[in-house]
Each structure stands twice: as structure tokens, then as C-alpha cells.
Amino acid sequence: MTRALLFVLPLLLAFTANAQEADDPCSQPTDKQILKLLEAATKAKDPVDRHAKLKSTLEIDAECAECNFRLGLSAYRIGKESGKGYAAAIKYMEAAKTKCANYHSDVWYHLGVMYYAQDQFAQAAQAFEAFKRFPTEDAARVSKDYDEQYKDVEEVLPELQFYVDFYRHTAPLNPVVVPNVSTTADEYLPMLSPDNEMLFFTRKRQEKGEG
């Protein structure tokens, strides 16, 4: 009886460890089909073929963090080179972030870059702040270019914060006619003098040349 218990115990421990790994949203995929597709994608030289193989992994597990992360990187490169934008790349990176917020520093960095490129300044600032707070103890989850990326983020954040504050406090634009000043012409860009005595503005009009 004792020998049987000793034999069963290691099996139970192994089963428990596997179950815990499966429950960890940040763990690497273990499905053999997914691993095979990821390996094939790594070896693929054609970007379109690589992207197709990566997309196939989501047919097996749509929430796979590694799959969405690598798809995000692939879609980012395709979007950047083709000029078609980053909608697909953002979707995959957001999925990876939702599954595991601390999956990889590149998730937050690339989200910040893409949101910034699309003039979504508040989202870009949030992503870059999360990138700055990203834990760096596990080297496997940190980009090899992390130091350079961190420097870039530090430089761009003040500009981003300016845009965020600027658009947050935008007042409604309800132009009105100013008596004794406004005309029926196209007028814009008004500005008061420092002493509030004079009003400067731009007026557009057409004039016919002589002759």
C-alpha cells in the first residue's frame, strides 16, 4: 500500500503542475498544433506566408497570448510597410494585453507607437506609461531594445501630455458676429492685443488685378 501511494504521489504532483501552468494566462502555449505553426511561422521567409501561419494559431486558441503577440508584431510590420495602418496590429496586441498585461514589454511599446501614429494621444500616453512601469526582472519578457525604447518614450511623453491636455479642455466653438468689426467676408484667427484694445484677425478676399 505504501509503495502504491509513493508511486501515485509524483503523478499527482505532475498533474497539479500542468494544471497550474494551463491556468496561467501568461504561460507559453503547449498545444502541439500551435507550437508546430509557431515554429513554421518562424522559419517562413515570406511575410504573407508567416502571417497566415500565425493567424491559423487563433483558429485553435483565439486567446493564446503568444499567438496574438506575434500576430501583432507581424501586422505592425505589414501595416508600416504597406501604409495601410495599424488597426489589425492594435487588435492583436490588445488581445495579448487582455490575456496577460505583463506578457512582454513590446506589447505596450508597440501599442503606444501605433496609437500615437493614429493621433489617439490619450491611448498612446496610457500605453507608454504602462511600458515605463513594466517589470523588467524576467529578461524573456523584455525587448532587447528596451533601453533605447525607454529613452524614446521619455522624450515623447511630454509632447503627448500636451496634446492630451489640449484636447481635453477644448471649448465648444460657437462663433458670433462682432458688431462694428465683422463683415460678410471670410474671417478667422482672431487675437486680442495684450491691452485688450485692439482685435487682429485674418480676412480673406479676392482682388482683381489692373489691366
The answer on pLDDT for 14 being more than 70 is no
The answer on pLDDT for 69 being more than 60 is yes
> Which ranges of the chain does DSSP label H, i.e. alpha helix?
2-23, 32-43, 47-60, 65-82, 87-99, 105-117, 121-132, 146-168
pLDDT confidence of residue 209:
61
Confidence label for 24 from pLDDT (cuts 50, 70 and 90) = confident
Enumerate the β-bridge partners of residue 50: none
The answer on pLDDT for 201 being more than 90 is no
Confidence label for 165 from pLDDT (cuts 50, 70 and 90) = confident
- Nearest to 40, CA basis, from 31, 27, 49: 49
Domains of the chain as residue ranges with CATH: 20-135+146-168 (1.25.40.10)
Give pLDDT tens digits for 96-148: 999 999 999 999 999 999 999 999 999 999 999 999 999 999 999 999 999 99
Across 36-61, average pLDDT: 96
The answer to whether the CB of 53 falls within 8 A of the CB of 70 is: no
